[in-house]
Amino acid sequence: MKLDYFHTVLLYCLDQINGERTVSAIYHLLNGKKSSQTIQDGKLFNLTHMFGLFPKLSRQQTDAAWEKLNKNELIDILPDNQCFINSKGKEFLLKNLAERPIPNDLNGWKYGDAGKVFWRRLSLLIQVMSNLSYGRKGYLPITKNQEELQWVKCFLKQINLTKSELNNRLYHELRQALLLQTTKGATIFVQRLTSSIKIGLTFEQIAYKHDEDPTYTFLLFWNVIHNMIQLQQKQSNEYELFTQMIRDKFHSDALTTSTKITRSYVLQGKNISEIANIRRLKESTIEDHIVELTLHDHHYSPSMFLQENDFQEIMVAIEKLQTHQLRKVREFLDNRYSYFQIRLAYALSGRAE
């Protein structure tokens, strides 16, 4: 059975996780589930760049893909929904990554949501400017998203540039950014664009034209988008239009909304039981929030839940065992620490990654 690049993505994630999570964890990560556990998994297993890259992914698709990998004898599936990549699978993965490496600038966690908005606004603006330049009014916008349509309308009203100046500026920023991409990546980006004289191609159409895999084509495209945002973040003066397209949507605070609420109570000195009662949530949910807070807020110290000497002892065990399985660490330490405290230790160590 022929395997496509999506199977390579699954094997890549499976190899990173190394049997320490179920396949459901990989599904949630690729799908972009913004739960504390999925966010922590992304950080712990160095998979944040893959976070949310496949938001339309269904369980049926991933189940079918795992089954296909199993039939090709590249993975071993255990009864408890855990999978392991076997030696044949590792060989297959290395060969495929050598031919088509995971694109370098993908960063689903950092740029995923902002990237989608950036692309919708940029592609719509390009379509509008192209039709304005040719004096064409009777055309269908490429999106029905009212927020983006309204944004482009407001942008064109407020921008202090003539139509010609805006065209030149937009062309300059795009050209400058695309010259830094691979030839294939830049070509895919341009082929996705809709103008007054052509309709943007789908990923399947582009893949067919290049004799390329559709999933890899998809990742190469988002690699370009994420790189453009990265350029804008580093050189905002060079990419003034890019900056205007993204600044109201780019959030540096990585915490989920519910965790932000819990943070406010934690900073007031309330304990887990008090917060759970106030918020009418399970104590385990509040613990999830505190672990997420510890992982992403480098100014926060969970010392009221984990003392420094306890952290050091847990880290010695983790280093010795080389595992992310909480149960193994807890048993090694004679059950003297809770799962919550061990998770906090992982979160603190994950800050440096």
* pLDDT band per the 50, 70, 90 thresholds, residue 35: confident
Identity of the amino acid at 4: D
Domain assignment present for residue 252? The answer is: no
Tell me the mean pLDDT in the region 75-79: 87
Domain assignment present for residue 104? The answer is: no
Query: Do residues 93 and 147 share a domain?
Result: no
Percent of the chain whose pLDDT exceeds 70: 97
Domain assignment present for residue 79? The answer is: yes
Cα separation values, 76 from 2, 13, 71, 73, 108, Å = 18, 15, 10, 7, 28
Domain boundary among 35, 66, 99: 99
Tell me the mean pLDDT in the region 17-43: 89
Compute the distance between CA of residue 292 and CA of residue 261 in angstroms, rounded to an integer: 12
Compute the distance between CA of residue 141 and CA of residue 343 in angstroms, rounded to an integer: 48
Query: Do residues 35 and 115 share a domain?
Result: no
Residue located via tokens 């847990």: 314
Residue 1 contacts residue 14 (beta carbons within 8 Å): no
Compute the distance between CA of residue 175 and CA of residue 179 in angstroms, rounded to an integer: 6
Domain assignment present for residue 339? The answer is: yes
Helix, strand, coil percent values for the chain (each to nearest 5): 65, 0, 35
Residue located via tokens 């893959």: 50
At 85, which helix (H) or strand (E)?
Answer: strand 83-85
Structure tokens at 97: 């990554």
Residue 83 contacts residue 75 (beta carbons within 8 Å): yes
Residue located via tokens 């900073």: 267
Query: Do residues 123 and 239 share a domain?
Result: yes
- Total domains, the chain: 3
Q: What is the DSSP letter of 50?
A: G
Query: Do residues 160 and 86 share a domain?
Result: no
Closest residue by Cα to residue 28 from 3, 62, 4: 62
Query: Do residues 219 and 334 share a domain?
Result: no
Residue located via tokens 């004799």: 211
Closest residue by Cα to residue 90 from 3, 2, 16, 1: 16
Domain assignment present for residue 251? The answer is: no
CATH number of the domain bearing residue 95 = 1.10.10.10
pLDDT exceeds 90 at position 298? no
Structure tokens at 133: 């330049």
Query: Do residues 301 and 182 share a domain?
Result: no
Query: Do residues 183 and 121 share a domain?
Result: yes
Long-range contacts of 338-342 (CB under 8 A, 24+ apart): 340/287, 340/290, 340/291, 340/305, 341/305, 341/306, 341/310, 341/314, 342/314
Query: Do residues 153 and 42 share a domain?
Result: no
Q: Greater confidence, 37 or 55?
A: 55
Percent of the chain whose pLDDT exceeds 90: 71
Query: Do residues 82 and 119 share a domain?
Result: no
Find the radius of gyration of the CA atoms of the chain: 23
pLDDT exceeds 60 at position 318? yes
At 76, which helix (H) or strand (E)?
Answer: strand 75-77
Residues forming a β-bridge with 75: 85
Tell me the mean pLDDT in the region 243-248: 88
Residue 63 contacts residue 51 (beta carbons within 8 Å): no
Mean per-residue pLDDT over the chain, rounded: 91
* pLDDT band per the 50, 70, 90 thresholds, residue 69: very high
Tell me the mean pLDDT in the region 88-117: 94
Structure tokens at 233: 């973040």
The domain in which residue 184 lies consists of: 110-246
Tens digit of each residue's pLDDT (9 = 90 or more) over 167-226: 999 999 999 999 999 999 999 999 999 999 899 999 999 999 999 999 999 999 999 999
Query: Do residues 221 and 118 share a domain?
Result: yes
Query: Do residues 227 and 263 share a domain?
Result: no
DSSP assignment of 6-32 equals HHHHHHHHHHHHTTSS-HHHHHHHHHT
Query: Do residues 214 and 162 share a domain?
Result: yes
Cα separation values, 345 from 69, 289, 300, 341, Å = 34, 14, 13, 6
State the pTM of this model: 0.84
Identity of the amino acid at 246: I
CA 183 remoteness from chain centre: 24
Domain assignment present for residue 266? The answer is: yes
Domain boundary among 227, 246, 265: 246
Tell me the mean pLDDT in the region 251-280: 86
Identity of the amino acid at 305: F
- Say what the pLDDT of residue 59 is: 94
